Chain A
Amino acid sequence: MYEGAIQDLIDELGRLPGVGPKSAQRIAFHLLSADPVDVNRLATTMRRVKEVVRFCTTCFNVAEEEQCRVCRDTRRSDEVLCVVEEPKDVVAIERTGEFRGRYHVLGGAINPLEGIGPDQLRIRELMARLSAGTVKELILATDPNTEGEATATYLALLVKPMGLTVTRLASGLPVGGDLEYADEITLGRAFVGRRAV
Chain B
Amino acid sequence: MALSLDIFLQVLMDGIVLGFMYALIALGYTMVYGVLEFINFAHSEIFVLGAFVGVEILLALESSGTLAALNPAFVVLMIILAGMIVSGLAAVALERTAYRPLRGAPRLVPLISAIGASFFLQDFIRLVESVWHNSFYLSYPTLSLLDRSVRLGAMVEVPFKSILVIATALAMLAGLYLFVNKTRLGTAIRAVAQDPDAAALMGIPVNRIISLTFFVGGAMGGVAGVLFGLHYSLVNPYTGFVPGLKAFTAAVLGGIGNIPGAVLGGLVLGLMEAFAASYLGILTDGAFGAEYKDVFAFVILILILIFRPKGLLGEKVREEGV
A binds B: no
A-side interface residues toward B, CB under 8 Å? none
